[in-house]
Structure 1
Amino acid sequence: MGQQTSGTDSPSGKSTGGEGKGALRWAMGLAAVGLLVMYQSVETTPAAPRSTDGGPAAVASASPTPLVQPSRAASAAPAMSRSKPVKLRIPQLFVEAPFTELGLTPEGGLAAPPPEDRNLVGWYKDGPTPGQRGPAVVAGHVDTTKGPAVFLMLYVMRPGNPVEITREDGSVAVFTVDSVQTFPKNAFPDQLVYGDTPDAQLRLITCAGEYNRATHDYSDNVVVFAHLSSTRPA
């Protein structure tokens, strides 16, 4: 971490986007390729190894880390209409960060947020918007060559913590954290993270674990699971 080159964990793969069941379609596309965007190459390093012909290999089915299904202490708020995110606020981490849209590279991976701005998060633009039904995916760097970045302390978040996202339509989607989990990259539970949901949910994703200088890769991913708990005007 610190001054080392790092990436952000974020979705990649083929996607159709859209609302409702469309969230499942793009989620299943993500499962084929995995996570980890390395900002230096602006390509995705998959959670599972690629096959020799350049296509995605199968994601490992077994994980040494028990999977915990996120649970909610409070009822979810009704889903909102589609509107792009503008600003992310996490009071516990003193984070206030603008958004950039993330698309796919020609290779099918997700382009990373620009490394010049350490206080910037990226939203996968072909998935649900924050507040819309389904799992909205937000990725951020844990660090860059310039130093610590926006999601450096993401792992300290706890259930019940709020996450606020101001949207382009002038509304604020307030999410409540359900769980914070760490997964090995070689056994990432794609369906748990990206699978379709009956309500509006949020995934905050970044790198964690040991850093390999040879591969410029972290060993794990931290994922914050949250659900939409309320809305208000900006």
Structure 2
Amino acid sequence: MSRTHQPMWRSAALPAAAACLTLAALTGCSSGSSDSAGNKPADTASTAPGPAAGKGTAQDTSGTKTDAKNKTEQAAPPAEVSIPSIGVSSSLLRLGLNADRTVEVPPADKGMTAGWYTGSAAPGERGAAVLIGHNDTRFGRAVFHDLRKIHKGADIAVRNTLGKTAHFTVTGTQSVSKKSFPTDKVYGKTTERALRLITCDGSFDAQGHPVNNLIVYAALR
């Protein structure tokens, strides 16, 4: 994401008050290195979306905790993501939940590395798989800096730890306020084999934090 995106690893439900939580970021997730006035985004924590409470476990795409556990054991975790059209090639960190039950994001010093939210489906399996990356950090541009340039129909390839690659086709993008993040649409149960990419986007608030999230939706080919 931008200056503050970080994914997760545990499959636990978030508290009820977190229905529209955003991912906690390490460096003030931003969509660029400065705003229109030339001000640098604040180097402070920001947020990005997490699964809502009351929706089951974070990996509940199969309907029950037992099914989710079995699915996690059977599916090989993702190891690398590649988006040729925008020059992205990154290994994937495994990210879980912070102590406050917000979703983790990659460390600022690993801004060029995206992460897989382990409470989501494994890419290629039934359900929504979620990858999160910074737009930029205090160290400079990050892995998803050019994500806003992606177009419908673009290919996203995700290779797992067994060497198998799943190809996804971008079906659409959405820039939304972090205050109205579409939690159910991104993390909710689905019978499709879907992929979501998330980063920061938009203008900055008074504290220098990006006010939006950019979401890329893709479906397995």
Shorter-chain TM-score above 0.5: yes
Which category of TM-score, normalised to the shorter sequence, fits these structures?
0.7 to 0.9
Greater shift, 99-108 or 110-119, is seen at 110-119
Show the counterpart of 1:45.
47
Partner of 1:118: 111
Comparing 27-36 with 156-165, greater Cα deviation is found at 27-36
Matching residue within 101, 124, 146 for 2:139: 146
Counterpart-to-counterpart distance in 2, 1:164 and 1:111? 23
2:211 aligned residue: 219
| CA offset digits 1:123-182 (Å, max 9, x no partner) | 011221111111100000000001111101111111110000110122001000000111
Match of 1:164 in 2: 157
Within 5 Å, give how 1:165-184 maps onto structure 2.
165-184=158-177
Question: Which consecutive residues of structure 1, in runs of 5 or more, have no partner in the other structure?
Answer: 17-25, 49-55, 57-80, 230-234
Aligned to 1:92: 85
Q: How many residues align?
A: 186
Partner Cα distance (1:91, 1:46) in 2: 25
User: Which structure features the higher share of strand residues?
Assistant: 1
Secondary structure of residue in 1 paired with 2:213: strand
Question: CA, structure 1 residues 102+9, in 2 after alignment: closer, same or farther (shift >3 Å)?
Answer: closer
Percent of aligned pairs sharing the same letter: 32
> Residue 108 of structure 2: SS of its match in structure 1?
coil
Q: Which ranges in structure 2 are unaligned for 5 or more consecutive residues? A: 29-43, 53-73
Q: Structure 2 CA distance, aligned partners of 1:46 and 1:164? A: 23
Whether contact under 8 Å (2:7, 2:104) holds in the other structure is: no
Whole-angstrom distance in 1 between the partners of 2:101 and 2:128: 20
TM-score, structure 1 length as denominator?
A: 0.70
| Structure 1 residues 65-90: Cα deviation after superposition (integer angstroms, max 9, x where no partner) | xxxxxxxxxxxxxxxx6111111100
Counterparts of 1:141 and 1:46, CA distance in 2: 11
Q: Which AA in structure 1 matches 2:85?
A: Q
Q: Name 2:186's counterpart in structure 1.
A: 193
Asked whether the 8 Å contact 1:143–1:149 carries over to 2, the reply is: yes
TM-score (norm 2): 0.74
Name the Cα RMSD after superposition: 3.2
Counterpart-to-counterpart distance in 1, 2:101 and 2:173: 27
User: What is residue 7 of structure 1 aligned with on the other side?
Assistant: 4
1:27 and 1:153, CA in 2 relative to 1: closer, same or farther beyond 3 A? farther
